[in-house]
Chain A
């Protein structure tokens, strides 16, 4: 079996802040194969974005990858020379951010920003750069791309802006795109458009993608695999359909249960009590243990380990697997 496109092993990324050490990513492992979509879900602050940034080497001080390994196309990215890393960024791995209004530079035209991104990796004549930009803009579904090149981001609608950002990410046909909640800031209708288009794009280009979101529904319709994070740790991973149908971790199960549309109208929703812990003061054992109905004393002391290899649920007392549940 060939090596996966991206393999992350036991990643720890911490922020050394005034208040203390924030263990934003605390032992996350996963891999992404060529052409596959991994959905990274979790609540706000669970370390999804930091995981994404870690892959691209975009962690700014006071943050740092403390340990772990990130192998991409057979190369170890942790500890890689900054220049080599830069050469990979945008060319082999690209990233799209949540709020396109904030990511695009408001004082540069779309064309200029795209040209800069093109020239970051290849010597291109003005003409060639323009043609490439036009080509990609067309691909992401921007009508009349030629005239858009000279516009400024604020002259575009939110959806168009996000499409431009996606186009910038696609310029060099990367092998992997890390998409950090690219549709969260958008309207429902536009959100749907973008998800739709992204899915087609990665399929046609054969690009792998990590889709970061807190919305289980989006993941369910887009991702091949899913990884659920909680308080900086991964709690569950596996093929999307299987995992969502029969979650093994109580947290995943709780999340799924509390979705309103899956409950009879007007009745109380099943809820997870309490709130997410501060990453500064994580309990020693399982991070979910204080809120977990299945917690036992062992959960308080030992962090749980992987239970099975294909599907992972980091839990001392996982729920029964799908077959049993169905029974």
Chain B
């Protein structure tokens, strides 16, 4: 792979609850006051090469969006940095420093300002950042509308006049109009209908071909991620537990969580092959307020041993991918 382009370097994010003066006094007085924060992302490092698509998969609440936000420079990490071509995307004060990372969000109904016309939505950023002038904005916008397969005549319309798929195209056009290198897509097809989903996936594929975009593609749909990604990272409770090329990871998942996750998804069966059924993972995700010690997955892991409770596994190369599991670093029993 070529030089990394977007580098996420040991990034963590913690959400601390608001503590009032009263809470503090009460805590002094010995009352139980919730001071624990949510450790949404824990010490994650990733590097994405130019033109590469990295898929990020995980269950709800595991920190995908949080990581995506930090990668896009919308949210400041508690620790660690995100760099684009060596330069941080965000100042320590929380100001975004680059326009070269843009985002596409999940909900096409919420991601467009309902009070702005399509033209305004698309032109606002480029005009503000000097990518085009106010006078040329119309043509500029029309060009991007073409690109995402929307009619130029739509510039004057408002978001509520479009269907979900069309809105998502507008959202993509808005991101593209900023001429980004990297697109962070946070579940961009999750809320679309099946028949529309394919259109948008195809659009992403086409844009990658034509513009050489780099994607951080977040989804919980394993099928979609597989289809679009070069590499895939699996997240669990704020940590990356396995990362590798899509083919290798799907063909030979190493982490027990990845294995269970892949097995738990019902597959579309059209043959009478009844045997290949899915099997759910036992239990539920622990609360991020009180993450279990050691390996976060040990509470649900069929292969867990004493070491998993005591020790947090590191992400180490295992086969074609990198995995954070004790199974591959000496077993789950505690070393004597």
A residues near B, CB below 8 A? 43-44, 157, 159, 187-193, 195-196, 214-218, 220-222, 241, 244-245, 254-256, 258-263, 265-273, 275-276
Q: Would B227 and A260 count as touching, CB distance under 8 A?
A: yes
Q: Which A residues are CB-close (under 8 A) to B166?
A: 275
On chain B, the residues within 8 Å of A244 by CB distance are 268-270
A217-B267, A261-B267, A266-B228 are known contacts; what are 18 more A-B pairs with Cβ within 8 Å?
A188-B59, A189-B280, A192-B264, A192-B265, A192-B281, A193-B281, A214-B193, A217-B269, A221-B269, A222-B266, A241-B271, A258-B194, A259-B268, A263-B227, A269-B202, A269-B227, A271-B195, A275-B164
A280 to chain B, nearest CB (A): 13
Known: A220-B270, A261-B223. A188 touches B195 (CB 8 A): no
24 contacts between A and B (CB under 8 A): A188-B220, A188-B222, A189-B281, A192-B266, A217-B267, A217-B268, A220-B267, A220-B269, A221-B267, A221-B277, A255-B194, A258-B195, A259-B223, A261-B226, A262-B268, A265-B247, A266-B228, A271-B195, A271-B198, A271-B199, A275-B195, A275-B196, A276-B193, A276-B195
Nearest chain A CB to B280 CB, angstrom units: 4
Q: Are A190 and B227 in contact (CB under 8 A)?
A: no
Q: Is B150 an interface residue (CB 8 A)?
A: no
Contact A157/B194 with A187-B60, A221-B269 known, Cβ cut-off 8 Å? no
Residues A187 and B285 in contact, CB atoms below 8 Å apart: yes
Residues of A within 8 A of B206 (CB): 268
Partner of B195, one of A190, A195, A217, A254: A254
Chain B interface (Cβ within 8 Å of chain A)? 59-60, 163-166, 193-199, 201-202, 205-206, 220, 222-224, 226-228, 246-247, 260-261, 264-272, 277-282, 284-285
Q: Is the CB of B195 within 8 A of A220?
A: no
Closest to A260 in B: B227
Closest to B192 in A: A44
CB neighbours (8 Å) of A192 from chain B are 264-266, 278-281
Are the CB atoms of B284 and A157 closer together than 8 Å? yes
What's the minimum C-beta distance from B149 to chain A, rounded to whole angstroms? Answer: 10
Chain A neighbourhood of B269, CB < 8 A: 217, 220-221, 241, 244
Contacts of B163 in A (CB 8 A): 275-276
Chain A: interface secondary structure?
Answer: helix
- In the complex, which residues of chain B have a beta carbon less than 8 angstroms from the beta carbon of A188? 59, 220, 222, 261, 264-265
Chain B residues with CB under 8 Å of A222's CB are 266
Contacts of A265 in B (CB 8 A): 226-227, 246-247
The distance in angstroms between the C-alpha atoms of A256 and B140, with both chains bound, is 37
Instruction: Quote the shortest CB–CB distance from A142 to chain B (angstroms).
Output: 12
> Which of A190, A193, A261, A269 contacts B268 (CB under 8 A)?
A261
Contact B195 A266 (CB under 8 A): no
A267 to B199, alpha carbons, bound, how many Å?
12
Q: Which residues of A contact B193 (CB under 8 A)?
A: 43-44, 214, 276
Give A221 to B269 CA distance when docked, in angstroms: 7
Q: How far is it, in angstroms, between the C-alpha of A260 and the C-alpha of B60 when the chains are bound?
A: 21
When C-beta atoms are compared, the residue in chain B nearest to A264 turns out to be B227
- The residue in chain A whose Cβ has the minimal distance to the Cβ of B189 is A260
Instruction: Say which residue of A191, A260, A272 sits within 8 Å of B201 (CB atoms).
Output: A260
Min CB distance A186 to B, Å, is 8
**A214–B194 CB distance below 8 A:** yes
Alpha-carbon distance A278/B266, docked complex (angstroms): 31
Q: How far is the CB of B176 from chain A (nearest CB, A)?
A: 19
Determine the chain B residues whose CB is within 8 A of the CB of A268 once the complex forms. Answer: 202, 205-206
Residues of B within 8 A of A214 (CB): 193-194
